[in-house]
Amino acid sequence: MRIGFALALATLATVAMLAWTGVIAVPGSGPQSSEKRPLPKIGEAPAFALISQDGLPVRLADLRGKVVAVNFIYTLCTATCPVLTPMLVTVQDRLGKEFGRNIAFVSITLDPERDTPEMLKLYAQAFGADLGGWSFLTGLPEEILGLTGRYGVFSRKNASGEVDHSFLTSIVDRHGILRVQYLGTRFDPDELHQDLLSLAKER
């Protein structure tokens, strides 16, 4: 389901943990919804300047001119990340030549202490991510913590060392404006696919 950024922040405290564990099912609203009316403009997307799986600096500003899907994962996750990442790989493959050229994906680690660029690259390769259009990013813990809050993502490392976290996949248009967010891992990949293409064609 697509949600507004303000709504994500307002409901985060009560639904974040339920959404990522699957207690709340969040169905898509259908792939044709983005064709009926333009997606809303929520506001300027939170900027970032982090390090890629290749050890290179990547800023959101560097991706201006492309539609960008931003999410948060970590490589040692055994619950929800292994569900979301393959879903995005499926969408990546369906985008064909648009992926990398006009549409990019960004996955930011929630575990920067352990997720080195090398670890992120192995993770990306294991899932079949096309690194020509998909960046896996890490940075200083305080940078990551601040960024998750600005995107409305809950994240907390528990006693066992695992990271409890919510899922929001945020779509940023070619001008750096946040347009839509998907809550949880049960959104409709067809809807995401159509939203990405719609924004890529938007003038």
First to last CA, the chain: 25
Is residue 120 a contact partner of residue 109, using CB atoms and an 8 Å limit? yes
The phi, psi pair for 43, rounded to 5°, reads 155, 175
**What average pLDDT does the chain have?**
85
Q: Is the pLDDT of residue 29 over 60?
A: no
Structure tokens that stand for 61 in this block = 């500003």
One-letter identity of residue 99 = F
User: How many separate domains does the chain show?
Assistant: 1
Is residue 3 a contact partner of residue 181, using CB atoms and an 8 Å limit? yes
**Domain range enclosing 131:** 2-201
Is residue 133 a contact partner of residue 107, using CB atoms and an 8 Å limit? no
Residue 115: CATH number of its domain: 3.40.30.10
Which tens digit of pLDDT belongs to each residue from 79-136? 889 999 999 999 999 999 999 999 999 999 999 999 999 999 999 999 999 999 999 9
